[in-house]
Amino acid sequence: MKKSGAIYKALLISAKSPKKLKIYNPGFLVISPEGIIENISKKDPRKKLKNYSFHDYSGFLICPGFIDTHNHLSQYSFAGLEGQELLTWLKTYAFPEEKKFKDQKIAQIAAQNFFQELIRNGTTTTLTYITTHKIATDIAFQQAQKSKIRAIIGKVMMDQNSPRFLIEKTAQSLKDSLELIDKWHNKDGRLFYALTPRFAITCSRKLMQDIGKIAQEKNVYVQTHLSENHQEIQITQKLFPQYKSYTDIYYQTGLLCPRTILAHCIHLTSTEIQLIKKTQSKIAHCPTSNRFLMSGIMPFRKYQNLNLQMSLGTDVAGGYSLSMLNEMREAIENSKTVILFQGKKNIPPMTITEAFYLATLGGAKNLSLQSQIGSLEKGKQADFLITDPISIDPMRDKSPYQNPIQLLSKLIYRGNNSVIKEVYIKGEKIMIYKKHQSLLRNPHFSAKSS
Ligand code: GUN
Ligand code: ZN
C-alpha cells in the first residue's frame, strides 16, 4: 500500500541556535510519505493536503529527537553503580564487563536492550563505543539496524596498557576496524562508523597514527576521550613525554579533524583549546559522568564564548542515565556549579535554550548531520518526539505556568522517559509509549525488555 503523508498539530519547539528557539503554538508539522519534513507552519494546511492523515496532539509538545553524542553500549548493565574515580572505575567495572562481550549472546542481548532503551528515552541518533571485540561490534550494528535508530558505532581500539583480556595487536585492531568500515559505514543512510581509540593511555603512537590516516582515507568519524581526570592526564603526559600536551598527542598523530568527537575535555589549557578550534574537532560534554566519576566540571560558558562546538553525551555508564532530559538538566546545574565555585556571579549559567540546542541541533552539527537532522525544518528528515509535559506537572492542565518556555523547562527539569509518548525516525513511528511501557508496532520491541 502506498504510504500517505501526515500532519501533526501540537506545540512545536525546535532550536535555531544556542540562543534562539523556533516556537509554533500551535503549529502544523507536515511529513511527506518519504519521511521528510515538507512544511512547518502556523496555518492549518489540511485544505491543501486532503489525502494526508491528520493527528491532533493539542496539549502535547513536539520537538526534534535527541542526539546522544557519547556513550558506551557495553557498559549499560552496570549504570548507576557507585562512582569512583576514572581509572579505578575502569578496572573495577568497565573492563571486566567489556570482557563479557566475547560471548555473542551477551553482546546481542545488550545491544538490543541498549537501542530499545535509547529510543524509549527519545534518543533518535547516538554515537557509541562497543568493546574491542569485532563480532560484538558487528552485532551492535545489526541490532541498531533492526531498531531503526540512527547510530554511529565503533569497535574500541586498545593495544597497550590494557588488561590482557582486552588488549589487541595493533595490526589486528586496524584490520578489524577496516572490515567493519567496509561493511557498515554509511549503511541505509542511518549507520556510520567511528574509529574508536579508547584514550591515549591504551593506544600506541603507531595505532593512533594509522587511525588518523584511515579516518582521512575513508572519511569516517573518530571518537575518543580527552582530558577527563587529573590522574589520567598525568599518566598520559608521562607515557608520551615527546608531546606538549594530551591534546597535542592526538593532534600530532593526526586524530583531530572535523569528524572527531572528543568526550569530556574538562581540564584543557588554552593551547589545547586552540588545537581543537584549529582542527574543528568537536566536544561531547558529559556533565552527569563528569560529576558521577568526580572528574571535574567542564567550563561551559568559557568554551561557548570561545565558539567551541559542543554537544551532549550521557557517557553511560560513567553517566548513570540514558535520558537526554537528565543530561540537559545536569548540564545546566553543572554550569551553575562552575560559577559558584569561581565566585564569579556575573557569568551566566547555561540556559534552557542552550541545553536544548546542545541535545538537538548542536548534536547534529557535531556529527556533521545538521543538513539532515537536529531541528524541525523543511527538507530535514522527520526525527521527532511527541512529549507530554503536562503529565508531570504538579497541577496537570490546571497549571498557570504553561507558556512554551515554561513547558520546555518543566520537561527538562522534571521529565523522564514517561514523558516521551511517541518516537518517530524518518517519519516512521518507532515507539508508542502506552500504559505499561509496552513497546508496540516495531516487532523488534516484542522481545522482552529489561
Ligand atoms: N576513558 C577511557 N575509557 C573510558 C570509559 O570507558 N569511560 C569514561 N568515562 N572515560 C574513559
Ligand atoms: Zn566515555
State residue 378's pLDDT score. 98
State residue 155's pLDDT score. 99
* Contact (CB, 8 A) for 339 and 345: yes
**pLDDT over 80 (residue 437):** no
Range list of β-strands (E), 47-106: 53-64, 66-72
Look at ligand 1, atom 11, and give the residue with the nearest C-alpha: 225
Distance CA 115, CA 138 (A): 14
> Residue 383 is which amino acid?
D
State residue 135's pLDDT score. 98
List CB-based neighbours of ion ligand 2 within 5 Å: 263, 315
Look at ligand 1, atom 7, and give the residue with the nearest C-alpha: 318
- Per-residue pLDDT band at 359 (split at 50, 70, 90): very high
Pick 358 or 346 by higher pLDDT. 358
Q: How far is the CA of 347 from the centre of ligand 2 (A)?
A: 28
- What is the average per-residue pLDDT within 383-390? 97
**Which ligand has an atom closest to residue 86 CA?**
1
Residue with cell 573518530: 222
Q: Is the CB of 426 under 6 A from ligand 1?
A: no
**pLDDT over 70 (residue 441):** no
- CA 228 to ligand 1: nearest atom: 10
Domain with CATH 3.20.20.140 in the chain: 66-366
- Per-residue pLDDT band at 82 (split at 50, 70, 90): confident
Q: How far is the CA of 279 from the centre of ligand 1 (A)?
A: 23
- What is the average per-residue pLDDT within 313-338? 97
- What is the average per-residue pLDDT within 154-182? 98
State residue 13's pLDDT score. 98
* Contact (CB, 8 A) for 362 and 125: no
**pLDDT over 90 (residue 300):** yes
Q: DSSP H helical segments within 187-345, as ranges? A: 205-218, 230-239, 246-252, 270-278, 287-292, 300-305, 324-342
- What is the average per-residue pLDDT within 419-438? 78
**pLDDT over 60 (residue 445):** no
Q: Residue 58 burial by CB count (10 A; 0-12/13-18/19+): exposed, middle or buried?
A: exposed
pLDDT above 70 covers what percent of the chain?
A: 95
**Which ligand has an atom closest to residue 71 CA?**
2
Q: For residue range 24-58, list pLDDT tens digits in order.
A: 999 999 999 999 999 999 999 999 999 999 999 99
**pLDDT over 90 (residue 343):** no
> Residue 50 is which amino acid?
K
**pLDDT over 80 (residue 12):** yes
State residue 444's pLDDT score. 40
Q: How far is the CA of 124 from the centre of ligand 2 (A)?
A: 19
Domain with CATH 2.30.40.10 in the chain: 6-64+374-430
Q: Is the CB of 262 under 6 A from ligand 1?
A: no
Q: For residue range 172-221, list pLDDT tens digits in order.
A: 999 999 999 999 999 999 999 999 999 999 999 999 999 999 999 999 99
State residue 432's pLDDT score. 60
State residue 443's pLDDT score. 39
Mean of pLDDT over the chain: 95
Query: How far is residue 366 from each of residues 150, 155, 198, 433, measured CA to CA in Å?
Result: 14, 20, 19, 29
Least confident of 41-55, 215-229, 337-351: 337-351
- What is the average per-residue pLDDT within 321-341? 96
Look at ligand 1, atom 9, and give the residue with the nearest C-alpha: 318
Q: How far is the CA of 268 from the centre of ligand 2 (A)?
A: 17
Q: How far is the CA of 96 from the centre of ligand 2 (A)?
A: 16
384 Cβ contact list (under 8 Å, min separation 6): 29, 62, 63, 64, 65, 376, 424
pLDDT above 90 covers what percent of the chain?
A: 92
Name which CATH class applies to 6-64+374-430.
Answer: mainly beta
> Residue 159 is which amino acid?
D
State the architecture of 66-366 in CATH terms. Answer: Alpha-Beta Barrel (3.20)
State residue 345's pLDDT score. 74
Look at ligand 1, atom 3, and give the residue with the nearest C-alpha: 198
**pLDDT over 80 (residue 337):** yes
To test the pocket of ligand 1, the residue of 68, 69, 70, 72 to mutate (highest count of ligand atoms within 8 Å of its CB) is: 72
pTM over 0.85: yes
State residue 433's pLDDT score. 54
To test the pocket of ligand 1, the residue of 90, 156, 233, 295 to mutate (highest count of ligand atoms within 8 Å of its CB) is: 90
- What is the average per-residue pLDDT within 415-443? 73
- What is the average per-residue pLDDT within 78-99? 96
